[in-house]
Structure 1
Amino acid sequence: MFTDTHLEGFRRDGCAVVADFISPEQVSVLRQRIKELLSSFDPSNHPLTTFETGQSQDSHIGDQYFFDSADKTSFFLEEGAIDSSNGQLTVDSHRAINKIGHGLHLTEPLFAELTHSDKVKDIANRLEYQDPRVLQSMIICKQPGIGGAVPWHQDSTFLFTQPFSACGFWLALEDCTLENGCLEYIPGSHLTTPVTRRFVRKADNSGTEMVDIAPTTEPLSREAGIPLQVKAGSLVLINGQVLHRSSHNYSSKSRWIYTFHIVEGTAEYDKRNWLQMPASAELTKLL
Protein backbone atom coordinates (compact mmCIF):
# COMPACT_ATOMS: atom_id res chain seq x y z
CA MET A 1 0.00 0.00 0.00
CA PHE A 2 2.97 2.31 0.59
CA THR A 3 4.02 2.96 -2.99
CA ASP A 4 7.11 4.52 -4.52
CA THR A 5 5.04 7.68 -4.99
CA HIS A 6 4.25 7.77 -1.27
CA LEU A 7 7.92 7.27 -0.43
CA GLU A 8 9.06 9.99 -2.82
CA GLY A 9 6.48 12.42 -1.42
CA PHE A 10 7.41 11.59 2.16
CA ARG A 11 11.08 12.25 1.53
CA ARG A 12 10.31 15.52 -0.28
CA ASP A 13 7.48 16.90 1.88
CA GLY A 14 7.91 15.20 5.27
CA CYS A 15 4.34 13.84 5.15
CA ALA A 16 2.49 11.25 3.11
CA VAL A 17 -1.17 10.23 3.13
CA VAL A 18 -2.08 6.61 2.46
CA ALA A 19 -5.84 6.39 1.91
CA ASP A 20 -7.74 3.28 3.06
CA PHE A 21 -4.78 2.02 5.11
CA ILE A 22 -7.26 0.17 7.30
CA SER A 23 -10.73 -1.01 6.29
CA PRO A 24 -14.07 0.43 7.45
CA GLU A 25 -14.54 -2.78 9.45
CA GLN A 26 -11.22 -2.25 11.26
CA VAL A 27 -12.15 1.36 11.94
CA SER A 28 -15.46 0.24 13.44
CA VAL A 29 -13.80 -2.33 15.71
CA LEU A 30 -11.22 0.16 16.95
CA ARG A 31 -13.88 2.80 17.55
CA GLN A 32 -15.92 0.36 19.60
CA ARG A 33 -12.90 -0.35 21.79
CA ILE A 34 -12.35 3.39 22.28
CA LYS A 35 -15.97 3.77 23.38
CA GLU A 36 -15.41 1.00 25.92
CA LEU A 37 -12.27 2.69 27.23
CA LEU A 38 -13.99 6.06 27.50
CA SER A 39 -16.89 4.46 29.38
CA SER A 40 -14.46 2.75 31.76
CA PHE A 41 -12.90 6.02 32.88
CA ASP A 42 -13.88 6.79 36.46
CA PRO A 43 -12.63 10.23 37.54
CA SER A 44 -12.80 9.16 41.18
CA ASN A 45 -10.10 6.53 40.54
CA HIS A 46 -7.74 8.50 38.29
CA PRO A 47 -5.71 11.67 38.67
CA LEU A 48 -7.38 14.48 36.74
CA THR A 49 -4.25 15.11 34.70
CA THR A 50 -4.77 17.49 31.79
CA PHE A 51 -2.73 17.33 28.62
CA GLU A 52 -1.06 20.68 28.04
CA THR A 53 -0.98 21.42 24.32
CA GLY A 54 2.00 23.75 24.58
CA GLN A 55 0.16 27.02 24.05
CA SER A 56 1.83 28.37 27.19
CA GLN A 57 5.61 28.12 27.12
CA ASP A 58 5.67 28.15 30.93
CA SER A 59 3.20 25.31 31.43
CA HIS A 60 4.26 21.74 30.75
CA ILE A 61 2.77 18.50 31.90
CA GLY A 62 4.90 16.31 34.14
CA ASP A 63 3.29 14.59 37.11
CA GLN A 64 4.12 11.02 38.08
CA TYR A 65 0.98 9.67 36.41
CA PHE A 66 2.26 11.13 33.13
CA PHE A 67 5.80 9.82 33.68
CA ASP A 68 4.54 6.30 34.44
CA SER A 69 2.38 6.03 31.31
CA ALA A 70 4.91 4.57 28.85
CA ASP A 71 3.66 0.99 29.28
CA LYS A 72 0.12 1.66 30.51
CA THR A 73 -3.36 2.73 29.47
CA SER A 74 -3.63 6.17 31.07
CA PHE A 75 -6.22 8.90 30.63
CA PHE A 76 -5.44 12.58 30.08
CA LEU A 77 -8.06 15.30 30.06
CA GLU A 78 -8.78 18.24 27.82
CA GLU A 79 -7.65 21.51 29.40
CA GLY A 80 -11.16 22.87 28.88
CA ALA A 81 -12.72 19.94 30.75
CA ILE A 82 -11.58 21.11 34.20
CA ASP A 83 -13.03 24.06 36.12
CA SER A 84 -9.93 25.90 37.33
CA SER A 85 -11.80 27.32 40.32
CA ASN A 86 -12.73 23.98 41.89
CA GLY A 87 -10.88 21.28 39.94
CA GLN A 88 -14.12 19.57 38.89
CA LEU A 89 -15.10 18.30 35.46
CA THR A 90 -17.13 20.70 33.36
CA VAL A 91 -18.37 17.98 30.97
CA ASP A 92 -19.33 14.31 31.17
CA SER A 93 -16.33 12.15 32.02
CA HIS A 94 -16.29 10.30 28.67
CA ARG A 95 -16.18 13.65 26.83
CA ALA A 96 -13.46 15.05 29.09
CA ILE A 97 -10.72 12.78 27.71
CA ASN A 98 -8.15 14.34 25.42
CA LYS A 99 -6.06 11.23 24.96
CA ILE A 100 -5.51 7.67 26.14
CA GLY A 101 -1.91 6.48 26.16
CA HIS A 102 1.00 6.03 26.04
CA GLY A 103 1.43 2.25 25.93
CA LEU A 104 -1.55 0.99 23.93
CA HIS A 105 0.78 -1.09 21.75
CA LEU A 106 1.53 -3.06 24.94
CA THR A 107 -1.79 -3.05 26.80
CA GLU A 108 -4.50 -3.13 24.11
CA PRO A 109 -4.49 -6.19 21.80
CA LEU A 110 -6.39 -4.52 18.95
CA PHE A 111 -4.02 -1.57 18.83
CA ALA A 112 -0.99 -3.81 19.33
CA GLU A 113 -2.05 -5.92 16.33
CA LEU A 114 -2.42 -2.84 14.16
CA THR A 115 0.89 -1.35 15.31
CA HIS A 116 2.75 -4.60 14.54
CA SER A 117 0.90 -5.29 11.30
CA ASP A 118 2.77 -6.31 8.16
CA LYS A 119 1.72 -3.03 6.53
CA VAL A 120 3.42 -1.00 9.24
CA LYS A 121 6.51 -3.20 9.14
CA ASP A 122 6.70 -2.77 5.39
CA ILE A 123 6.77 1.02 5.75
CA ALA A 124 9.50 0.84 8.39
CA ASN A 125 11.53 -1.36 6.06
CA ARG A 126 11.01 0.96 3.09
CA LEU A 127 12.13 3.89 5.25
CA GLU A 128 15.30 1.86 5.92
CA TYR A 129 14.98 1.52 9.68
CA GLN A 130 17.49 -1.03 10.95
CA ASP A 131 15.91 -1.66 14.37
CA PRO A 132 12.61 0.26 14.61
CA ARG A 133 11.27 0.71 18.14
CA VAL A 134 7.68 1.68 19.02
CA LEU A 135 6.82 4.33 21.58
CA GLN A 136 4.10 6.80 22.53
CA SER A 137 1.06 4.94 21.21
CA MET A 138 -2.15 6.78 21.99
CA ILE A 139 -5.71 7.63 21.08
CA ILE A 140 -6.37 11.35 20.64
CA CYS A 141 -10.05 12.26 20.85
CA LYS A 142 -10.07 16.00 19.97
CA GLN A 143 -13.38 16.39 21.75
CA PRO A 144 -16.22 18.42 20.15
CA GLY A 145 -16.35 22.00 21.32
CA ILE A 146 -13.39 21.76 23.70
CA GLY A 147 -10.70 19.90 21.73
CA GLY A 148 -7.63 22.06 22.20
CA ALA A 149 -5.39 23.49 19.51
CA VAL A 150 -1.88 22.07 19.16
CA PRO A 151 0.62 24.71 17.96
CA TRP A 152 3.34 24.28 15.37
CA HIS A 153 5.83 21.68 16.58
CA GLN A 154 8.25 18.97 15.51
CA ASP A 155 7.84 15.52 17.04
CA SER A 156 11.60 15.10 17.39
CA THR A 157 11.45 17.85 20.04
CA PHE A 158 9.49 15.41 22.23
CA LEU A 159 10.90 12.10 20.97
CA PHE A 160 14.54 13.06 20.77
CA THR A 161 17.21 10.72 19.44
CA GLN A 162 20.74 11.29 18.20
CA PRO A 163 20.64 11.29 15.23
CA PHE A 164 17.01 12.31 14.72
CA SER A 165 14.89 9.31 13.79
CA ALA A 166 11.27 9.79 14.93
CA CYS A 167 8.46 9.00 12.51
CA GLY A 168 4.76 9.23 13.36
CA PHE A 169 1.99 6.90 12.15
CA TRP A 170 -1.26 8.85 12.48
CA LEU A 171 -4.44 6.89 11.70
CA ALA A 172 -7.77 8.63 11.24
CA LEU A 173 -10.67 6.83 12.93
CA GLU A 174 -13.11 9.56 11.90
CA ASP A 175 -13.16 11.95 8.97
CA CYS A 176 -10.73 14.77 9.75
CA THR A 177 -11.75 18.20 8.46
CA LEU A 178 -10.87 21.85 8.94
CA GLU A 179 -13.93 22.14 11.16
CA ASN A 180 -12.91 19.45 13.67
CA GLY A 181 -9.19 20.20 13.74
CA CYS A 182 -7.42 18.24 11.01
CA LEU A 183 -3.64 18.18 10.78
CA GLU A 184 -1.83 20.97 8.96
CA TYR A 185 1.84 20.85 7.95
CA ILE A 186 4.53 22.81 6.13
CA PRO A 187 5.87 20.73 3.23
CA GLY A 188 9.63 20.38 3.22
CA SER A 189 10.11 21.93 6.65
CA HIS A 190 11.93 18.80 7.84
CA LEU A 191 14.70 19.82 5.44
CA THR A 192 14.77 23.54 6.24
CA THR A 193 13.83 23.95 9.91
CA PRO A 194 16.32 22.66 12.48
CA VAL A 195 15.16 21.18 15.76
CA THR A 196 16.42 23.73 18.29
CA ARG A 197 14.78 22.52 21.51
CA ARG A 198 13.92 19.30 23.28
CA PHE A 199 11.30 18.41 25.88
CA VAL A 200 12.95 16.79 28.91
CA ARG A 201 12.35 15.74 32.49
CA LYS A 202 13.68 18.22 35.02
CA ALA A 203 16.79 17.09 36.83
CA ASP A 204 14.86 16.63 40.08
CA ASN A 205 12.06 14.73 38.27
CA SER A 206 9.54 17.32 39.45
CA GLY A 207 8.16 17.98 35.99
CA THR A 208 9.23 18.75 32.44
CA GLU A 209 10.77 21.67 30.62
CA MET A 210 11.99 22.78 27.22
CA VAL A 211 15.76 23.17 26.83
CA ASP A 212 17.70 24.65 23.94
CA ILE A 213 19.93 22.27 22.01
CA ALA A 214 21.01 24.59 19.19
CA PRO A 215 21.05 28.32 18.48
CA THR A 216 17.59 29.55 17.57
CA THR A 217 17.15 30.83 14.04
CA GLU A 218 14.78 33.34 12.50
CA PRO A 219 11.39 31.62 12.69
CA LEU A 220 9.88 30.38 9.48
CA SER A 221 6.57 31.97 8.47
CA ARG A 222 4.05 29.42 9.70
CA GLU A 223 0.82 30.71 8.25
CA ALA A 224 0.98 28.66 5.05
CA GLY A 225 0.28 25.23 6.46
CA ILE A 226 -1.31 22.67 4.16
CA PRO A 227 -4.44 21.10 5.71
CA LEU A 228 -4.68 17.31 5.57
CA GLN A 229 -8.40 16.62 5.33
CA VAL A 230 -8.54 12.83 5.29
CA LYS A 231 -11.18 10.14 5.52
CA ALA A 232 -11.49 7.58 8.30
CA GLY A 233 -9.09 4.72 7.65
CA SER A 234 -6.37 6.95 6.21
CA LEU A 235 -2.78 6.91 7.43
CA VAL A 236 -0.76 10.11 7.68
CA LEU A 237 2.95 9.41 7.93
CA ILE A 238 4.84 12.28 9.62
CA ASN A 239 8.59 12.88 9.63
CA GLY A 240 9.73 13.77 13.15
CA GLN A 241 11.28 17.04 11.98
CA VAL A 242 8.38 18.38 9.90
CA LEU A 243 6.40 21.31 11.33
CA HIS A 244 2.74 20.47 11.92
CA ARG A 245 -0.18 21.59 14.04
CA SER A 246 -3.95 21.23 14.49
CA SER A 247 -6.60 23.79 15.32
CA HIS A 248 -9.12 23.90 18.14
CA ASN A 249 -12.20 21.78 17.54
CA TYR A 250 -15.13 24.15 17.88
CA SER A 251 -17.40 21.85 15.89
CA SER A 252 -20.00 19.39 17.16
CA LYS A 253 -17.99 16.43 15.82
CA SER A 254 -15.07 14.70 17.51
CA ARG A 255 -11.82 13.83 15.71
CA TRP A 256 -10.68 10.41 16.93
CA ILE A 257 -7.30 9.13 15.78
CA TYR A 258 -4.78 6.47 16.81
CA THR A 259 -1.14 7.40 16.60
CA PHE A 260 2.21 5.92 17.50
CA HIS A 261 5.82 6.68 16.71
CA ILE A 262 8.87 4.70 15.83
CA VAL A 263 12.48 5.63 16.43
CA GLU A 264 15.68 3.97 15.31
CA GLY A 265 16.88 1.48 17.89
CA THR A 266 20.48 2.05 16.85
CA ALA A 267 20.18 5.78 17.68
CA GLU A 268 20.78 7.16 21.17
CA TYR A 269 17.58 7.55 23.22
CA ASP A 270 18.78 9.06 26.47
CA LYS A 271 17.43 9.36 30.01
CA ARG A 272 16.53 13.01 29.64
CA ASN A 273 13.57 12.12 27.41
CA TRP A 274 10.27 12.45 29.25
CA LEU A 275 9.02 9.03 28.14
CA GLN A 276 10.96 6.17 29.71
CA MET A 277 10.15 2.50 29.94
CA PRO A 278 10.43 0.81 33.35
CA ALA A 279 13.97 -0.16 34.29
CA SER A 280 13.27 -3.80 33.50
CA ALA A 281 12.04 -3.11 29.96
CA GLU A 282 13.19 -1.55 26.72
CA LEU A 283 11.48 0.27 23.89
CA THR A 284 9.35 -2.23 21.99
CA LYS A 285 10.86 -3.80 18.90
CA LEU A 286 8.66 -3.43 15.83
CA LEU A 287 10.33 -6.16 13.76
Structure 2
Amino acid sequence: MGFEYLTQDQLDQLYLDGYLRIPGFLSPDETDVLLKRAHQLLGDFKVEDHPLTKFTTSDENHVGDDYFLTSGDKIRYFLEEDAVGADGKLNREKDKAVNKIGHALHELDPAFRAVTLENDNIRSIVRDVKFHHDPVVPPHNDSTFLYTNPPSALGFWFALEKCTAENGALSFLPGSHYLAPITKRFVRLPQGGTGFEDLIPPEKVPPAPEGEYVLVTCEPGDLVIIHGSVLHKSERNTSSKTRFAYTFHMIESPPYAEYDQKNWLQPTPEMPFSKILDTPNPVVEMDI
Protein backbone atom coordinates (compact mmCIF):
# COMPACT_ATOMS: atom_id res chain seq x y z
CA MET A 1 0.00 0.00 0.00
CA GLY A 2 1.33 3.42 -0.91
CA PHE A 3 1.11 6.41 1.40
CA GLU A 4 1.11 10.09 0.50
CA TYR A 5 3.02 11.47 3.51
CA LEU A 6 3.38 9.04 6.41
CA THR A 7 5.37 5.80 6.47
CA GLN A 8 4.05 2.44 7.61
CA ASP A 9 6.22 2.70 10.73
CA GLN A 10 4.67 6.07 11.59
CA LEU A 11 1.14 4.74 11.10
CA ASP A 12 1.95 1.69 13.22
CA GLN A 13 3.21 3.95 16.02
CA LEU A 14 0.10 6.13 15.84
CA TYR A 15 -2.21 3.11 16.01
CA LEU A 16 -0.21 1.48 18.83
CA ASP A 17 0.57 4.48 21.04
CA GLY A 18 -2.28 6.87 20.21
CA TYR A 19 0.06 9.72 19.28
CA LEU A 20 2.79 10.48 16.77
CA ARG A 21 5.40 13.25 16.61
CA ILE A 22 6.39 14.36 13.11
CA PRO A 23 9.59 16.43 13.34
CA GLY A 24 9.83 19.53 11.16
CA PHE A 25 6.35 19.31 9.69
CA LEU A 26 6.27 23.10 9.35
CA SER A 27 9.24 24.87 7.83
CA PRO A 28 11.07 27.50 9.90
CA ASP A 29 9.44 30.22 7.78
CA GLU A 30 5.93 28.75 8.27
CA THR A 31 6.50 28.43 12.00
CA ASP A 32 7.82 31.97 12.26
CA VAL A 33 4.77 33.36 10.43
CA LEU A 34 2.39 31.69 12.91
CA LEU A 35 4.40 32.74 15.96
CA LYS A 36 4.62 36.35 14.80
CA ARG A 37 0.90 36.38 14.01
CA ALA A 38 0.08 35.02 17.47
CA HIS A 39 2.12 37.82 19.04
CA GLN A 40 0.34 40.37 16.83
CA LEU A 41 -3.03 39.06 17.96
CA LEU A 42 -1.97 39.29 21.59
CA GLY A 43 -0.68 42.79 21.01
CA ASP A 44 -4.07 43.82 19.60
CA PHE A 45 -5.96 42.17 22.48
CA LYS A 46 -7.53 44.87 24.68
CA VAL A 47 -7.82 43.74 28.28
CA GLU A 48 -10.07 46.66 29.22
CA ASP A 49 -12.80 45.39 26.87
CA HIS A 50 -12.54 41.76 28.00
CA PRO A 51 -14.96 40.03 30.42
CA LEU A 52 -11.95 38.23 31.99
CA THR A 53 -13.24 34.84 30.85
CA LYS A 54 -10.86 32.09 31.93
CA PHE A 55 -10.26 28.70 30.37
CA THR A 56 -10.33 25.53 32.44
CA THR A 57 -10.96 21.84 31.82
CA SER A 58 -11.56 21.00 35.47
CA ASP A 59 -14.86 19.66 36.80
CA GLU A 60 -15.39 22.84 38.80
CA ASN A 61 -15.45 26.49 37.72
CA HIS A 62 -15.80 25.51 34.07
CA VAL A 63 -16.41 28.12 31.45
CA GLY A 64 -19.97 28.94 30.51
CA ASP A 65 -20.45 32.64 29.90
CA ASP A 66 -21.71 34.13 26.64
CA TYR A 67 -18.22 35.23 25.62
CA PHE A 68 -17.19 31.56 25.60
CA LEU A 69 -20.40 30.03 24.26
CA THR A 70 -20.62 32.39 21.30
CA SER A 71 -16.95 32.14 20.33
CA GLY A 72 -17.28 29.39 17.71
CA ASP A 73 -17.27 31.82 14.80
CA LYS A 74 -15.00 34.47 16.32
CA ILE A 75 -11.42 35.01 17.48
CA ARG A 76 -11.48 35.45 21.24
CA TYR A 77 -9.09 35.25 24.17
CA PHE A 78 -9.32 32.99 27.22
CA LEU A 79 -7.20 33.56 30.31
CA GLU A 80 -5.28 31.27 32.62
CA GLU A 81 -7.27 30.32 35.73
CA ASP A 82 -5.03 32.36 38.04
CA ALA A 83 -4.22 35.26 35.69
CA VAL A 84 -6.56 37.77 37.35
CA GLY A 85 -5.75 39.23 40.76
CA ALA A 86 -8.11 40.25 43.55
CA ASP A 87 -8.19 43.75 42.05
CA GLY A 88 -9.75 42.39 38.85
CA LYS A 89 -6.65 43.09 36.76
CA LEU A 90 -4.13 40.85 35.03
CA ASN A 91 -1.28 39.89 37.32
CA ARG A 92 1.18 39.14 34.49
CA GLU A 93 2.00 40.11 30.92
CA LYS A 94 -0.61 39.30 28.28
CA ASP A 95 1.51 36.65 26.55
CA LYS A 96 1.60 34.68 29.81
CA ALA A 97 -1.95 35.50 30.94
CA VAL A 98 -3.76 34.17 27.87
CA ASN A 99 -4.29 30.40 27.88
CA LYS A 100 -5.95 30.10 24.47
CA ILE A 101 -6.89 32.15 21.43
CA GLY A 102 -9.96 30.69 19.77
CA HIS A 103 -12.13 29.40 18.51
CA ALA A 104 -12.36 30.30 14.80
CA LEU A 105 -8.70 31.13 14.30
CA HIS A 106 -8.40 28.45 11.62
CA GLU A 107 -11.17 30.06 9.57
CA LEU A 108 -10.83 33.80 10.11
CA ASP A 109 -7.07 34.36 10.24
CA PRO A 110 -5.28 33.85 6.89
CA ALA A 111 -2.02 32.64 8.44
CA PHE A 112 -3.66 29.91 10.51
CA ARG A 113 -6.14 29.06 7.76
CA ALA A 114 -3.24 28.37 5.38
CA VAL A 115 -1.77 25.78 7.76
CA THR A 116 -5.11 24.16 8.58
CA LEU A 117 -7.49 24.23 5.63
CA GLU A 118 -5.17 25.02 2.72
CA ASN A 119 -2.36 22.58 3.54
CA ASP A 120 -1.85 19.70 1.10
CA ASN A 121 0.33 17.80 3.59
CA ILE A 122 -2.51 17.83 6.14
CA ARG A 123 -4.86 16.40 3.51
CA SER A 124 -2.27 13.73 2.69
CA ILE A 125 -1.99 12.73 6.36
CA VAL A 126 -5.79 12.49 6.60
CA ARG A 127 -5.87 10.17 3.61
CA ASP A 128 -2.97 8.11 4.99
CA VAL A 129 -4.46 7.68 8.47
CA LYS A 130 -7.95 6.81 7.15
CA PHE A 131 -9.49 7.65 10.51
CA HIS A 132 -12.33 9.68 9.01
CA HIS A 133 -14.54 9.42 5.96
CA ASP A 134 -15.29 13.15 5.79
CA PRO A 135 -13.36 15.08 8.47
CA VAL A 136 -14.39 18.54 9.59
CA VAL A 137 -12.60 20.98 11.87
CA PRO A 138 -14.56 22.35 14.80
CA PRO A 139 -12.57 24.76 16.92
CA HIS A 140 -11.81 23.00 20.22
CA ASN A 141 -10.20 19.90 21.72
CA ASP A 142 -10.53 16.18 22.13
CA SER A 143 -13.29 13.62 22.63
CA THR A 144 -14.67 14.82 25.97
CA PHE A 145 -15.06 18.35 24.58
CA LEU A 146 -15.87 17.44 20.97
CA TYR A 147 -18.05 14.42 21.56
CA THR A 148 -19.37 12.48 18.60
CA ASN A 149 -21.14 9.13 18.53
CA PRO A 150 -18.99 7.14 17.93
CA PRO A 151 -16.03 9.16 19.28
CA SER A 152 -13.88 10.45 16.43
CA ALA A 153 -11.68 13.35 17.59
CA LEU A 154 -8.13 13.51 16.25
CA GLY A 155 -5.87 16.38 17.31
CA PHE A 156 -3.13 18.17 15.38
CA TRP A 157 -0.76 20.00 17.76
CA PHE A 158 1.99 22.22 16.32
CA ALA A 159 4.91 23.46 18.40
CA LEU A 160 5.65 27.09 17.55
CA GLU A 161 8.41 27.31 20.15
CA LYS A 162 10.75 24.78 21.73
CA CYS A 163 8.77 22.60 24.17
CA THR A 164 10.61 21.07 27.11
CA ALA A 165 9.85 19.57 30.50
CA GLU A 166 10.31 23.03 32.02
CA ASN A 167 7.85 24.97 29.84
CA GLY A 168 4.98 22.52 29.44
CA ALA A 169 5.79 19.85 26.86
CA LEU A 170 3.10 17.22 26.38
CA SER A 171 3.26 13.78 28.01
CA PHE A 172 1.31 10.71 26.87
CA LEU A 173 0.35 7.33 28.30
CA PRO A 174 1.04 5.10 25.28
CA GLY A 175 -1.79 2.75 24.32
CA SER A 176 -4.26 4.31 26.76
CA HIS A 177 -6.68 5.06 23.91
CA TYR A 178 -7.47 1.33 23.94
CA LEU A 179 -8.00 1.24 27.70
CA ALA A 180 -9.57 4.57 28.69
CA PRO A 181 -13.21 4.94 27.54
CA ILE A 182 -14.82 8.34 27.21
CA THR A 183 -16.63 8.57 30.56
CA LYS A 184 -18.10 12.08 30.34
CA ARG A 185 -18.74 14.87 27.89
CA PHE A 186 -18.72 18.65 28.10
CA VAL A 187 -22.21 20.03 27.37
CA ARG A 188 -24.41 23.11 27.47
CA LEU A 189 -26.57 22.88 30.56
CA PRO A 190 -30.36 23.40 30.22
CA GLN A 191 -30.23 26.08 32.92
CA GLY A 192 -27.39 27.89 31.14
CA GLY A 193 -23.64 27.62 31.23
CA THR A 194 -21.67 24.43 30.77
CA GLY A 195 -20.85 21.29 32.70
CA PHE A 196 -20.02 17.62 32.38
CA GLU A 197 -22.53 14.86 31.65
CA ASP A 198 -21.67 11.29 32.64
CA LEU A 199 -21.61 8.77 29.81
CA ILE A 200 -20.84 5.95 32.22
CA PRO A 201 -22.27 5.89 35.76
CA PRO A 202 -19.46 6.91 38.15
CA GLU A 203 -19.67 3.61 40.02
CA LYS A 204 -19.07 1.73 36.76
CA VAL A 205 -16.12 3.79 35.51
CA PRO A 206 -13.13 1.42 35.23
CA PRO A 207 -9.90 2.27 37.04
CA ALA A 208 -7.62 4.62 35.15
CA PRO A 209 -4.92 2.81 33.17
CA GLU A 210 -1.59 2.68 34.90
CA GLY A 211 1.77 3.18 33.31
CA GLU A 212 4.54 5.65 32.72
CA TYR A 213 3.78 8.82 30.82
CA VAL A 214 6.22 9.58 28.02
CA LEU A 215 7.41 13.17 27.69
CA VAL A 216 7.39 14.39 24.07
CA THR A 217 9.72 17.33 23.69
CA CYS A 218 9.38 19.30 20.47
CA GLU A 219 11.31 21.72 18.33
CA PRO A 220 9.53 24.60 16.59
CA GLY A 221 7.61 23.25 13.59
CA ASP A 222 7.08 19.74 14.97
CA LEU A 223 3.59 18.27 14.67
CA VAL A 224 2.06 15.84 17.16
CA ILE A 225 -1.03 13.89 16.06
CA ILE A 226 -3.17 12.96 19.07
CA HIS A 227 -5.95 10.38 19.28
CA GLY A 228 -8.95 11.86 21.07
CA SER A 229 -9.00 9.09 23.68
CA VAL A 230 -5.30 8.85 24.54
CA LEU A 231 -4.47 10.12 28.03
CA HIS A 232 -2.14 13.11 27.89
CA LYS A 233 -1.20 16.08 30.00
CA SER A 234 0.93 19.17 30.07
CA GLU A 235 2.61 20.22 33.28
CA ARG A 236 2.57 23.84 34.39
CA ASN A 237 5.11 26.09 32.74
CA THR A 238 7.63 26.74 35.52
CA SER A 239 10.16 28.53 33.34
CA SER A 240 10.50 32.13 32.23
CA LYS A 241 9.93 31.07 28.62
CA THR A 242 6.62 30.96 26.76
CA ARG A 243 5.40 27.80 25.01
CA PHE A 244 3.30 28.86 22.05
CA ALA A 245 1.50 26.06 20.21
CA TYR A 246 -1.28 25.85 17.65
CA THR A 247 -3.92 23.13 17.88
CA PHE A 248 -6.88 22.07 15.81
CA HIS A 249 -9.01 18.93 15.87
CA MET A 250 -10.88 16.87 13.33
CA ILE A 251 -14.08 14.95 13.90
CA GLU A 252 -16.16 12.74 11.66
CA SER A 253 -19.15 14.40 10.02
CA PRO A 254 -22.66 13.01 9.48
CA PRO A 255 -23.78 10.48 8.45
CA TYR A 256 -20.65 8.73 9.70
CA ALA A 257 -20.94 10.12 13.24
CA GLU A 258 -23.50 12.11 15.22
CA TYR A 259 -22.72 15.56 16.60
CA ASP A 260 -25.72 16.60 18.66
CA GLN A 261 -27.17 19.75 20.20
CA LYS A 262 -25.76 19.00 23.64
CA ASN A 263 -22.24 19.92 22.60
CA TRP A 264 -21.18 23.32 23.91
CA LEU A 265 -19.84 24.29 20.50
CA GLN A 266 -22.36 24.56 17.68
CA PRO A 267 -21.80 25.51 14.04
CA THR A 268 -23.64 28.54 12.72
CA PRO A 269 -25.24 29.11 9.30
CA GLU A 270 -22.55 31.72 8.66
CA MET A 271 -19.73 29.38 9.69
CA PRO A 272 -20.36 25.64 9.46
CA PHE A 273 -17.57 23.30 10.49
CA SER A 274 -14.72 23.43 7.95
CA LYS A 275 -14.18 20.48 5.63
CA ILE A 276 -10.67 19.15 5.08
CA LEU A 277 -11.15 16.95 2.02
CA ASP A 278 -12.86 17.87 -1.23
CA THR A 279 -14.38 14.39 -1.40
CA PRO A 280 -14.81 11.83 1.40
CA ASN A 281 -12.31 9.03 1.89
CA PRO A 282 -13.80 6.04 0.06
CA VAL A 283 -12.67 3.46 2.64
CA VAL A 284 -11.79 3.60 6.32
CA GLU A 285 -9.54 0.58 6.64
CA MET A 286 -8.68 0.60 10.32
CA ASP A 287 -9.59 2.31 13.55
CA ILE A 288 -7.04 3.88 15.82
Whether the TM-score (by the shorter chain) exceeds 0.5 is yes
- Structure 1 position 213 matched with structure 2 position 199: yes
- Which one of 23, 26, 45 corresponds to residue 22 of structure 1? 26
Query: Which of structure 1's runs of 4+ aligned residues deviate more than 6 A?
Result: none
Q: Please give the alpha-carbon distance, in whole angstroms, between the structure 1 residues aligned to 2:99 and 2:88.
A: 16
Of 214-223 and 171-180, the range deviating more from structure 2:
214-223
- Structure 1 position 263 matched with structure 2 position 251: yes
1:89 maps to what in 2? 90
Map 1:25-174 onto structure 2 (within 5 A): 25-54=29-58, 57-83=59-85, 85-116=86-117, 117-128=119-130, 129-136=132-139, 155-174=142-161
Identical columns (%): 43
TM-score for the superposition, normalised by structure 2: 0.89
Secondary structure of the residue that 1:177 maps to in structure 2?
coil
Secondary structure of the residue that 1:200 maps to in structure 2?
strand
1:143 maps to what in 2? none
**Which deviations, in whole Å up to 9, do the C-alpha atoms of 1:127-163 show, x marking residues without a partner?**
22211101116xxxxxxxxxxxxxxxx9211110011
- Which one of 236, 257, 274 corresponds to residue 264 of structure 2? 274
Q: CA deviation at 1:222?
A: 5.1
Q: CA deviation at 1:283?
A: 1.3
Q: CA deviation at 1:223?
A: 6.2
1:233 maps to what in 2? 221
Q: Please give the alpha-carbon distance, in whole angstroms, between the structure 1 residues aligned to 2:161 and 2:94.
A: 21
Q: Please give the alpha-carbon distance, in whole angstroms, between the structure 1 residues aligned to 2:270 and 2:114.
A: 23
**Which deviations, in whole Å up to 9, do the C-alpha atoms of 1:233-277 show, x marking residues without a partner?**
100000001111110111111110000000011310111111112
Of 15-24 and 88-97, the range deviating more from structure 2:
88-97
Gaps of 5+ in 2: 278-288
Q: CA deviation at 1:221?
A: 4.8
Q: Please give the alpha-carbon distance, in whole angstroms, between the structure 2 residues aligned to 1:114 and 1:168.
A: 14
Q: Please give the alpha-carbon distance, in whole angstroms, between the structure 1 residues aligned to 2:184 and 2:22.
A: 30
Gaps of 5+ in 1: 138-153
- What CA RMSD, in Å, does the superposition of the two structures yield over aligned residues? 1.5
CA shift in 2, pair 1:53/1:163, >3 Å = closer
Secondary structure of the residue that 1:248 maps to in structure 2?
coil
Amino acid at match of 1:207: G
8 A Cα contact 1:41 1:94, kept in partner: no
**Which deviations, in whole Å up to 9, do the C-alpha atoms of 1:163-197 show, x marking residues without a partner?**
11100000000111110011011111111111111
